[in-house]
Amino acid sequence: MPIGLVQSSQTEQSLATLNVPTGVWNGSEVPSVTLTGQVTKTTFQSSEIRKPDAVAAAIWPQLDAQGYDLALQCADQTCGGYDFRFTLPVVPPPHMFVDLGDYVFLSGLKDGTQGLWLLISRSLGQTHVQLTQVRPADVPPIELSSASLTSASGVLETDLIATGRYVLADLTFDAGSARLDKASFASLQALGDYLIRHSDQSIALVGHTDSSGSHEANLDLSKQRAEAVRTMLLDQFPLISPTRVGCEGIGYFSPLASNAAPEDREINRRVEVILVPTRP
């Protein structure tokens, strides 16, 4: 598991129903999809106290890679606070603990037959995670691994040391928009971990576009995308000072490939990390 999480418990019911929330508390209920199958509840704990958003950023890309579509992402009061949390079958202490003012919730659905939700919170001394999954009997339970995160962290640091730059290649945006289209990205988790370890290093996030559209529009869009990435990074890693993370957009002026083919234009649409010299 990423960021020091260790499994602390697991229970399984051979035939049960699970409500997978798809909306926040609306005053009378939590909108949900009800699925029947094998229900597995797994809890994890870590002595490394991390912001729940950052933990979600490390875990969700693995679930996304396994085919789960994000159904809901919310945090404590946005979810509905007490009312939302107490609709969930949460494993009791000591295996799970939920601070009603400091938790993050994500849910996902797959193929109409599988669903899961992830609840992340923290106490004074630990980070707590519960992963609850429902699936057909012939489908094995999800196993989370730190391999992809470790790989991303290693490659990012190696490239930054060697070249002073790194392309955040897994970032994706809504079409024609500066809105990131997922809740979390492995490359941003790796970047955040790097900046935590190298507390004297500053960076710039630089947005790039393809050559479609006007010069002015591309400059604006590339800057807005860099700003969106900066916002997500700082939200998920509050210990990183905003003064260490700059952002800029340079439109289509630094392509990595020709803009002749769709696949080349996709390569050119990117956000890069650039190391900024440390000021004395």
The pLDDT tens digits for 106-137 are: 999 999 999 999 999 988 768 899 999 999 99
Where residue 277 falls among pLDDT bands split at 50, 70, 90?
Answer: confident
Query: What does the alpha-carbon distance between residue 149 and residue 128 come to, in Å, rounded to a whole number?
Result: 19
Phi/psi at 115 (5° precision): -150, 160
Where residue 147 falls among pLDDT bands split at 50, 70, 90?
Answer: very low
Query: What does the alpha-carbon distance between residue 20 and residue 110 come to, in Å, rounded to a whole number?
Result: 11
pLDDT, greater one: 157 or 205: 205
CATH 3.30.1330.60 domain locations along the chain: 147-276
Query: What does the alpha-carbon distance between residue 250 and residue 7 come to, in Å, rounded to a whole number?
Result: 45
CATH 3.40.1000 domain locations along the chain: 2-135
**Average pLDDT for residues 169-188, to the nearest whole number?**
79
* Assigned CATH for 147-276: 3.30.1330.60
Residue 1 has pLDDT above 60, yes or no: no
The pLDDT tens digits for 50-98 are: 778 878 888 888 899 899 999 999 999 999 999 999 999 999 988 899 9
The pLDDT tens digits for 247-273 are: 999 999 998 878 887 767 877 889 999
> Cα dihedral sign for 49, 51, 55, 58?
negative
Residue 2 has pLDDT above 60, yes or no: no
pLDDT of residue 226: 96
Query: How many residues can be counted in the chain?
Result: 280
Tell whether domain 2-135 is in CATH 3.40.1000. Answer: yes
Q: Which residues pair with 273 in a beta bridge?
A: 166, 205
pLDDT, greater one: 160 or 49: 160
Nearest to 142 by CA among 51, 44, 250, 226: 44
pLDDT of residue 5: 78
Residue 4 has pLDDT above 80, yes or no: no
Contact 206, 226 (CB under 8 A): yes
